[in-house]
Structure 1
Amino acid sequence: MKITQIRNATQIITYAGKRFLVDPMLSEKDAWPGFNASARSSIRNPMVELPIDIEALLDVDAIIVTHTHADHWDAAAAKLIPKSMLIYVQNDSDEALLRAQGFTHLCQLSAKSAFEDIALIKTEGQHGSNEVYAVPQLAERLGDACGVIFQHPAEKNLYLVGDSIWIDGVAENMRYYQPGVVIMNTGWAHLIGYGPIIFGKEDVLKAHNILPHAQIVATHMEAVNHCLVTRRELLDYVRDIEIQAYVSAPDDGDTVTF
């Protein structure tokens, strides 16, 4: 298993000999404004350039889009990705959006979805607090965001958690599937007045306490305006609490192997 950090939540996962591109955000640096009503909204996105060229990025067997917020599926991805590529999406709404953009080879993730002999099991997350989802316009804005369990006899289970805060469902998935590798979006993105909408550094410890032998790959940092935790802060934290042997936060373009 290899996980190549591209930028933000964009990664290439090599699993059981197949390559998956996750959550492609392909715009050039500073292409679009910061997210409205979020932390540091004056900063334009993406904050950094892609570390590799688009042709190399698209040399994959399939694409997984956990949800269609612009920092996971942007206008550049819709323009640059070939319309016939196999793309896994989370629900009817996201499938309809991508079909309207011209994509023709779409598959919805589910409890039984797969790519050849690799199980791709959909999991649920919660992209913000209960207080956020109690506000109808914010609930609509945040919507759904899924995760994926990868399973294959030749690999450890991999849990791609997706955009979520810490909820009982995430902990239950960890206990049930016992992943050997967990990818966590730990940028601690904030909406003004409502707090974080994805994991922060302390959530890594929560995951480690449930899965003390798993490797945790921290991502979704230093690339969009509202993410407030940096790689250095996260790595300093895990070193201070002495779990650094189990946590990585690869730089853009770097690969970790398990």
Structure 2
Amino acid sequence: MRIKLIRHATSILQYGGKKFLVDPMLSSARSMAPVDFSPNTQKNPLVELPVTIEELLDVNAVLLTHTHRDHFDEGAARLLPKKIPIFCQPEDERKIADLGFTKVYPVQETFAWEGFAWEGINIIRTGGQHGSGDLAKKMGPVSGYILDAAGEPKVYFAGDTIWCSEIEVALNKYHPNISVLYGGAAQFLEGGPITMTSEDVIQVCRKISNMNVVVVHLEAFNHCLETRDEIKRALDIRGLSDRVWIPENGELITF
């Protein structure tokens, strides 16, 4: 298994002989308005893509946690081939199909069955909370995914979520070898974080002591306030740095 962080939540996963483009945000830097009601008012994305569009399109499928614009933007809607398979949560099926995509596969259930089988890869949808209380309800549904294939480690993309009971259930049920967490402590002026903080990352690490962790979703969108260095310091203090990867944009990690 190989995962290459592109930028923010966008990555290329090489898994089971296939290449997945995860949460594609393909717009050029500063081409999108900032997230409203955030302490940081810079335009998005904060940084350019570190690879060519051609490399991003050289994939077999798209894995989509949800359709907020920092995970599926106008650039992705315009540039992705309309016949590429897209795996998504059921709530996003109609939106993606209305954009002209013809192979949209909603992963229907969380935990009720063993996922969506595609090309020898099992894709299982998991739940999450995009914030706390009323804010989480306003942010709408989000999903994560477990991928499982013969000869590969079991990998968990948690999606845009804080530490919550849904994450704990997923870890207890599937015992992933590798978890990809969406960090950055994204937040507005009020309401608390809507993605994982360093303390949330630490909670995940403590839940499964032999699991490797990759933290993405950092330093590329204006409402993500916690930096790579801040997360690294928190992990160093807890003695967890040896099994947590915090890649730079464009960095490839092999497991």
Q: TM-score range by the shorter chain?
A: over 0.9
Structure 2: distance between partners of 1:27 and 1:132: 27
Q: Secondary structure at 1:21's aligned position in 2?
A: strand
227, 230, 235: which one pairs with 2:232? 235
Q: Could you state the TM-score of these two structures normalised by the residue count of structure 1?
A: 0.94
Task: Give a deviation string over 1:223-253, Cα, whole Å, max 9, x none.
Answer: 0000011111111221121111110110010
Partner letter of residue 5 of structure 2?
Q
Q: Which runs of 5+ in 2 are unaligned?
A: none
In the alignment, which residue of structure 2 is the partner of 1:248? 245
Structure 2: distance between partners of 1:73 and 1:114: 23
- Alignment length, in residue pairs? 250
- Asked if the contact 1:235–1:248 (Cα under 8 Å) also holds between the matched residues in 2, the reply is no
Q: Which runs of 5+ in 1 are unaligned?
A: 134-138
218, 223, 226: which one pairs with 2:223? 226
In the alignment, which residue of structure 1 is the partner of 2:33? 33
Task: Give a deviation string over 1:110-147, Cα, whole Å, max 9, x none.
Answer: 342122111000001111101424xxxxx34x111100
Partner letter of residue 43 of structure 1?
Q
Structure 2: distance between partners of 1:85 and 1:30: 27
In the alignment, which residue of structure 2 is the partner of 1:136? none
Task: Give a deviation string over 1:71-98, Cα, whole Å, max 9, x none.
Answer: 000001001111111111111x311111
Structure 2: distance between partners of 1:195 and 1:115: 37
180, 204, 209: which one pairs with 1:183? 180
Q: Secondary structure at 1:238's aligned position in 2?
A: helix
Give the ranges of 4+ consecutive aligned residues of structure 1 lying more than 3 Å apart after TM superposition. Answer: none
Structure 2: distance between partners of 1:145 and 1:118: 21
Map 1:121-136 → 2, pairs under 5 A: 121-133=124-136
Is 2:117 the counterpart of 1:118?
no
Deviation at 1:38, TM superposition (A): 2.7
Partner letter of residue 79 of structure 2?
L
Deviation at 1:153, TM superposition (A): 2.3
Over the aligned positions, Cα root-mean-square deviation in angstroms equals 1.1
In the alignment, which residue of structure 1 is the partner of 2:94? 96
Partner letter of residue 74 of structure 1?
D
In the alignment, which residue of structure 2 is the partner of 1:13? 13
Partner letter of residue 82 of structure 1?
P
- Asked if the contact 1:66–1:162 (Cα under 8 Å) also holds between the matched residues in 2, the reply is yes
Q: Percent identity?
A: 38
Structure 1: distance between partners of 2:225 and 2:64: 23
Partner letter of residue 12 of structure 1?
I
